[in-house]
Structure 1
Amino acid sequence: MPVPKSNLYPDFNIVRLSHVEFMVTDLAASKAFYADTLGLQITFEDSETVFFRALEERNHHCIILRKGTKPEANVLGFKVFAEEDLDKAEIYFKEKGLPTEWIERPHQGRTLRTRDLHGVPLEFYARMEQLDPIHQQYKLYKGVRPLRIDHFNCFSTNVDESVAFYNDLGFRVTEYTEDEESKKLWAAWMHRKGGVHDMAFTNGRGPRLHHTAFWVPNPLAIIDLLDLMSTTGYLENIERGPGRHGISNAFFLYIRDPDGHRIEIYCSDYMTVDPDLEPIKWDLKDPQRQTLWGAPAPRSWFEEGTTFANTEISDSQLAAQPIVAP
């Protein structure tokens, strides 16, 4: 199926991805991992939750950890341009037959909760509490020195359907993987903010969250993180990398937090703001697709992910197989 033509004038204006809320089984252990090892900055905490932002971010939070009985993702958050976009979004999702509700969120303004066509829980807001800048307070830079949240990647049971849905919301495809036999999409990368992606989809059992990514200053920050993790008890939490993706050209590392939520550390992709940018096509069997240097990903990377709360999971509709590390 061909990639759909970009919708440059969607019904409402999404600016970018914003935040994720994780359920964690040991709040103290997860807080230590995100604050002391990764280097995210705590903006609020109590006995049940911890809020973090990255070093270049002015908004109050990009990750929320909430104490729970099992590891899940509660919601993926997105920022819209203006308050009226929230009202337009409510009309849009209602017309699609999808659930909508207005919820109260600490440190956020009016917030609309809904789901996408496969059940991924989403929320949209226009205003969040603004904090003082800290990007030049270099005394705070530690761990991998995360500058900002960059993207989500979700397992989708039908990537073509996911791409069509988010394309209608104004997300634009930058790169994609096509299964040559079926001519169906196996994966796709879509953006709003002008990087390679705010939202990506990988074929698999879903919907599940594959990973959340953070942008860091340079590849050396990733090397420093590997040295830190390997000497502070987190050796087994290193899953894949470091390496350079063929798709996106980004330098990457995949790690797992104490509950198994996958985090990508990411830098060096490219600008995609031109509205007529042509998407780059990849063959599923191209060994440089996953890693420019040819190294395939481990089986866990294709099979394991974070479930969404109160969301039914089903098998993928596409049986095509990528190259998997032995």
Structure 2
Amino acid sequence: MPIPAPNLYPPFNIIRLSHVVFGVTDLAASRAFYVDTLGLQVTDEDDRHIFLRAMEERGHHSVVLVKTPEANVRSLAFKLFDEGELDKAHDWFEAEGHSVEWVERPYQGRTLRTHDCFGMPIEFYFRMDRLEPIHQKYALYHGVKPLRIDHFNCFASDVDKAVEFYNRIGFRVTEYTEDEESGRLWAAWTHRKGGVHDIAFTNGLGPRLHHTAFWVPTPLNIIDLLDLMSTTGYVANIERGPGRHGISNAFFLYILDPDGHRIEIYCSDYQTVDPDLEAIRWDLKDPQRQTLWGAPAPRSWFEHGSRFQDVEPVASDMKATPIIAP
């Protein structure tokens, strides 16, 4: 199925991805990972929550850790252009038959909770408390020196369906993987903010969250993180990389937090600001698609993902298979 033409006039205006809410089983262990090891900054915490931001972020949080009996993902959140766009989003999702609810969220204004075409919980807001800039407080930089949240990648049982739905609300495809035999999409990268992606979709049991990515200054920060993790008890949490993707051209590393939530550390992709930019097509069997150089992805990278709260994932019927490390 060909990718749809860009929808330049969506029913409401999404600016970018905003934050992820992780359910974690051990708050202290998660704090040690995200704060002491990765280097995210704590903006508030209590006995059930930790709010975190990266070094360039002015919003109050880009990650929320919530203590829960079992690990899951509570929601993925997006920032809208202004307050009026919230009402447009509410009316659009309601007209499409999706559940809609106004919810209270700390440090945010009005927040709309709804779900996508697979039942994946998504939230929208306009106002979040602003904090003072810390990007020049170099004494605070440690770990991998994360600058900002960059994207989500989700498993989807039908990537064509995901692309069609998210195109309707304004996400534009930058790169995609097509199965030559069936003509169906194996994966797609879509954006709002002018990078390669705000949210991407990979074929598999879904919906599940494949990973959340953070942008770092240079590849050397990733090497420093590997040295740190390998000598502080986290060597088993290193899943894949370092390497460079063919898709996005990004230098990458994939690691797992104490509950198995996958985090990508990421730099060196490119801008996609022009609204008429042509998407780049990749064949599923191209060996440089997922890895321009470096070891192929392990089987866990295609099978392991974080489940969303109260959402039962569905298997894909697509039979095509990617290149998997032996």
SS in 1 for 2:34: helix
Give the aligned partner of residue 52 of structure 1.
Answer: 52
Q: For the Cα contact (< 8 Å) 1:288–1:294, is it kept in 2?
A: no
- The equivalences for 1:1-326 within 5 A come to 1-293=1-293, 295-326=295-326
Q: CA deviation at 1:294?
A: 5.8
Aligned length: 326
Larger displacement relative to structure 2 (286-295 or 189-198): 286-295
Return the alpha-carbon distance in structure 1 between the equivalents of residues 275 and 133 of structure 2. 31
For 1:239, what is the secondary structure of its paired residue?
Answer: strand
Structure 1: unaligned runs, 5 residues or longer: none
Give 1:313 shift. Answer: 1.0
Deviations along 1:130-158, whole A, 9 cap, x unmatched?
00000000000000000000000000000
- Secondary structure in 1 matching 2:289: helix
CA RMSD of aligned residues (A): 0.5
Alpha-carbon separation, structure 2, partners of 1:116 and 1:219: 34
Amino acid at match of 1:96: E
Structure 2: gaps of 5 or more residues: none
Q: Which runs of 4+ in 1 moved over 3 A?
A: none
Q: Identity across aligned pairs (percent)?
A: 71
Query: Counterparts of 2:232 and 2:319 in 1: how far apart (Å)?
Result: 40
Deviation per CA, 1:263-284: give whole Å up to 9, x if none. Answer: 0000000000001100000000
Write out per-residue CA displacement over residues 291-310 of structure 1, whole angstroms, 9 at most, x where no aligned residue: 10163100000000000001
Q: Is the 8 A contact 1:287 1:295 kept in 2?
A: no
Task: Name the amino acid aligned to 2:173.
Answer: V
Distance 2:284 2:69 in 1: 37
SS in 2 for 1:290: coil
The two structures have a TM-score, normalised by structure 2, of 0.99
CA distance in 1, matches of 2:151, 2:242: 18
Shift of 1:318: 1.1
Aligned counterparts of 1:275 and 1:316: Cα–Cα separation in 2? 31
